[in-house]
Structure 1
Amino acid sequence: MTGDPISAVRGARGMDGSLVDLRIADGIVVDVAAASARPPAAGELDAAGMLVLAPGVEPHAHLDKALVVDDIGPVYGGLLQGIAAWQRHAPTLDEDDFVRRGLALVRRYLANGVTAVRTHAEIFPSADPLRSVRALVRVRQLVRDAVDLQIAVLPKNDIPDEVVHAALDAGADLVGGSPHTAADPAAEVDRLIAIARARGVGMDIHADERLDPASLTAVRLARAVAAEPLAGTVTASHCVSLGLLEAAALTEAAGALRAGGVGVVACPATNLYLQGRDRPVATPRGVTAVRGLLEHGVVVAGGGDNVRDTINPLGDADHLTTAALLVMTAHLTIEEAYAAVSDAGRRLLGLPPAGPVMGAVADLVLLDAPTLAAAVAGGARSRSVVRRGRLASVRRVDEELVSLP
């Protein structure tokens, strides 16, 4: 899925506006220097002044649910309505259907400049509960040269331990779950931690996706792993409830997350869509306390989450859209927001740094935009993507306004 090796990217525009040449060897950026005036040689990519950035990361995807809207229509409602609609539709899908839609979405991510994705794979209470997991393992194999794909198993609360273990045996990488929806959230957190410990893997849970400041399963998780760390990375996604905490309570929660090394994924698009439907006046934003968490030293990444499924009928698989939403809803700077959808995501996925920096993995996205601000504002439709020093995707958009001078 990737092209021939590239020895250099020539004439790219850096974040400071200067033109640079990047020299690449063995999939690593080995030199960054002022752009040379000589023409690009064979095996070198002419950036032609395109903005070069670290690649996007999608730290919270649902490839198994993706792109079903055109088949069943949108679901306009909250989280429980979306889950119910998905559980009605999912039994009609076979493993190949999961592969088809998952692969289609990964292609969209890559074309937009995303080279690392973590997806959740739901375990279904059925005669064949692992078909989503098996399908996404197949997708991971198909895209392995173009995208780092990680799979977190997502058991619903009535799925027994042995089925979660079977999902890990089938190829899932991490233990996930949604303990805040369980009858006993604390017990569910403890159960999932025990499975992760037994298997020597990390965790990524759906945490506290509700407008309830007393829902703090992420904090329980953090305190448990601070006392006894897990073998892999630990992430709490959504964490909507943290956005409702007063300053002192947030300081305490953030301190626990930092001490446990638990990263947080904010999912602004989905949580703006889902939360607050019962509060028509002064409707809460439904986004976690991004600024407060960052100020307390917690690693916070931005995720696009659902793409045209029963949970959210929208979604474009574009990390720049997520960055823009973080600027608007969390009041991050544009630079902070882009770091959340690139560098921070790689940290949460346990991946080495990537981008136009000496010593980094040569995963790059080249954007037809003069500045980062212009790109995040929606002005980067043409894009080229380099994956470990090989050209992985090129998208060129030509625009002609026939009725304007």
Structure 2
Amino acid sequence: MNNFLIKNVCVPGLDLDEAHIVIKDGRYDTIMPAVSNEALIFTQNWEEDNKKAVDGRGWTIFPTFTDIHTHLDKAFTYEQVPNYSGTLREAITNYQSALPSFTEEAMMERMRRLMDRAVSYGTGRMRTHINAGEDKAGNIALQAASKIKEEYRGILDLQIIAMVGNMSQPLTKNIELQDVLLSNNIDGIGGAPHLSESCNEEIDDLFAFASSRDLLIDLHADEQDDPEVRSICHIIKQVKKYDYQKKTTAGHLCSLSAMEEEAAFSIIDEMIQEQIYAVTLPAANLCLQGRDDKKNVRRGTTRVTSFLKKEAVIAVGSDNVNDPFHPFGDGDMLLTALIAAYANHLTSQKDISRLFQMITTKPAEIFGQTNHIQEGEKADFVLIEGKGEIELLSVQSGGRKVYRNSRWVSERQETISVWKKGNIYA
């Protein structure tokens, strides 16, 4: 379906109540006010010529979502791998203990479950962190993700970040593990070096290997309440050393919120200068952080408003879904955005507009793509039941229609209904 007209849709960011959008050859050809004389004449002629038209019925159109940080390998494992204390440390320990019991087939089935849900909610791109290690059991997830990546190509584009750490020898010297990583079609290298006793050395090793293979760097950074945990400072040094601007992403950054404002602002300014991308993971960090606080319990998320005020590139990710790190969620980035709004005081109209950028255009930029609703751009969008950003966040409608690569790839049924007198059971 390359050429068609979408009538009566709400386009946030444009000074229009409703718009008509013409799609030609899979691109946005024309965007016009729905109430204009031009639109009236155009639609009459279009329909008289028996061309294809879709009535948007006032639904809101967005670029497809990009979930820039998730963990496909761990999704839907909570029943198998509980977390009794709710802490990050127990989640890591319990998952590592359970990992040898997982089969590749079962893991792929869970990955499909999350990806299918994500697509149905409007996600077009996803970056997943996958545990990789020196033993066979540790690399089942990597093999599964590599196969899933090909299976969903063109429907949900997947980037794989191999998470490595606590190895018997540095990755730059571990030829066998290098072969495993590169044979599984990875896009980047990651890890959580702040949890290692040799944090700086691990960061050095990861950058050295990634730069030798032109791979992305995407690290879990400072997912701690301790203000003295600052692995991001050494990450910044390595970005400078290897000229890894716009190729490095730091997720979590929780300790920024625990330290004094002056110190945090200095780090954020350096990240902006070196063009290091930031990702906040509100759902998981609200669950995991601040558990040892006896008063003034911290939210645990990074300084999102500070990043926004300084116009840094920061995105929101879903992180963990129904696993020992975070027992809830189902892959809907609209729900994740609502959690981010609550966690970070994003309630002004300007902040809410920025929030939607943090699940659409900003993470797409981190992914290495552009995705905007404007004339000439590739048509890649989700139609969401409801009108405008406030209503979408408030109602959390499940009604979605997703268009990618010149075809409709998913449709969820409408969920908003209005009670009418007599419309009840006797």
Same fold (TM over 0.5): yes
SS at match of 1:327: helix
Which segment is superposed worse, 330-339 or 367-376?
Answer: 330-339
**Match status 1:375 vs 2:375:** no
> What amino acid sits opposite 2:409 in the alignment?
A
Structure 1 window deviating more from structure 2 (114-123 vs 377-386): it is: 377-386
8 Å contact from structure 1 (residues 205, 235) kept in 2: yes
Matching residue within 4, 12, 24 for 2:9? 12
What is the aligned counterpart of 1:259 among 265, 273, 282? 273
Query: Hey, what's the Cα distance between the residues in 2 that align with 1:284 and 1:232?
Result: 30
Q: Deviations over 1:217-263 (max 9, x none)?
A: 12221232134313862100001011123222122101211122111
1:78-117 matches, cutoff 5 A:
78-117=87-126
Mapped to 2, the partners of 1:52 and 1:389 lie a distance apart of: 16
Conservation of the 8 A alpha-carbon contact between 1:334 and 1:376: no
Is 1:182 aligned to 2:200, yes or no?
no
Give the aligned partner of residue 22 of structure 2. Answer: 23
Q: Matches of residues 3-402 of structure 1 in structure 2 within 5 Å?
A: 4-15=1-12, 16=15, 18-35=17-34, 36-37=39-40, 38=43, 41-73=50-82, 75-158=84-167, 160=169, 161=171, 162=174, 163-164=177-178, 166-230=180-244, 233-332=247-346, 333-354=351-372, 356-398=373-415, 399=417
How far the C-alpha of 1:18 sits from its partner, in A, is 2.0
Which region of structure 1 is more displaced relative to structure 2, 34-43 or 252-261? 34-43
How many angstroms apart in 1 are the aligned matches of 2:80 and 2:395?
A: 28
Cα offset, 1:75, TM superposition: 4.7
Provide the rounded CA distance (Å) in 2 between the counterparts of 1:139 and 1:76.
32
Q: What secondary structure is seen at the aligned counterpart in 1 of 2:7?
A: strand
Structure 2 counterpart of 1:14, one-letter code: V
Rounded Cα–Cα distance in structure 1 between residues aligned with 2:51 and 2:363: 34
**Range with bigger deviation, 156-165 or 290-299:** 156-165
Give structure 2 stretches of 5+ with no counterpart: none
Q: Quote the offset at 1:367 in angstroms.
A: 1.0
How much does 1:343 deviate?
A: 1.1
- Which has more radius of gyration? 2
* Alpha-carbon offset, residue 130 of structure 1: 2.0
Please report how far the alpha carbon of residue 76 of structure 1 lies from its aligned counterpart in structure 2 after TM superposition: 4.5
Q: CA RMSD in A?
A: 2.1
SS in 1 for 2:191: coil
Which ranges in structure 1 are unaligned for 5 or more consecutive residues? none
TM-score scaled to structure 2, two decimals? Answer: 0.88
Task: Give me the whole-angstrom Cα distance separating, in 1, the residues matched to 2:2 and 2:108.
Answer: 28
Residues in 2 aligned to 1:159 and 1:6: alpha-carbon distance in whole angstroms:
56
SS at match of 2:308: helix
Distance 1:305 1:99, change over 3 A: same
How many percent identity over aligned positions? 26
How far, CA to CA, are the matches of 1:205 and 1:21 in structure 2? 42
Kindly indicate whether the alpha-carbon contact (under 8 Å) linking 1:222 and 1:261 is maintained by their aligned counterparts in 2.
Answer: no
Q: Which amino acid aligns with 2:66?
A: V
In the alignment, the residues of structure 2 paired with residue 5 and residue 275 of structure 1 have an alpha-carbon distance, to the nearest angstrom, of 47
Separation of aligned partners in 2, 1:12 and 1:107: 25
Which region of structure 1 is more displaced relative to structure 2, 36-45 or 228-237? Answer: 36-45
Distance in 2 between the 1:56 and 1:282 partners? 34
Aligned mates of 1:173, 1:232 — CA distance in 2: 14
Amino acid at match of 1:198: S
* CA distances 1:123-142 after superposition (whole Å, capped 9, x unpaired): 14533432211111111111
Q: TM-score, normalised by structure 1?
A: 0.93
SS of the aligned residue for 2:185 comes to coil
The alpha-carbon deviation at position 313 of structure 1 amounts to: 0.6
| Pair 73,208 (structure 1): closer, same or farther in 2 beyond 3 Å | closer
User: Displacement, 1:304?
Assistant: 1.1
Separation of aligned partners in 2, 1:73 and 1:130: 22
Aligned length: 401
Secondary structure class of the residue paired with 1:352: coil
From the superposition, tell whether residues 403 and 63 of structure 1 become closer, same or farther in structure 2 (CA, over 3 Å).
same
CA contact (8 A) 1:67 1:308 kept: yes
Q: CA separation of 1:283/1:6 partners in 2, compared to 1, >3 Å: closer, same or farther?
A: farther
Structure 1 distance, partners of 2:126, 2:411, is 19
Aligned equivalents of 1:378, 1:299: Cα separation in 2: 28
- Taking a change above 3 Å as real, the CA distance of residues 43 and 146 of structure 1, as seen in their structure-2 partners, is farther
Write the distance in 1 (CA, Å) between the matches of 2:236 and 2:183: 26
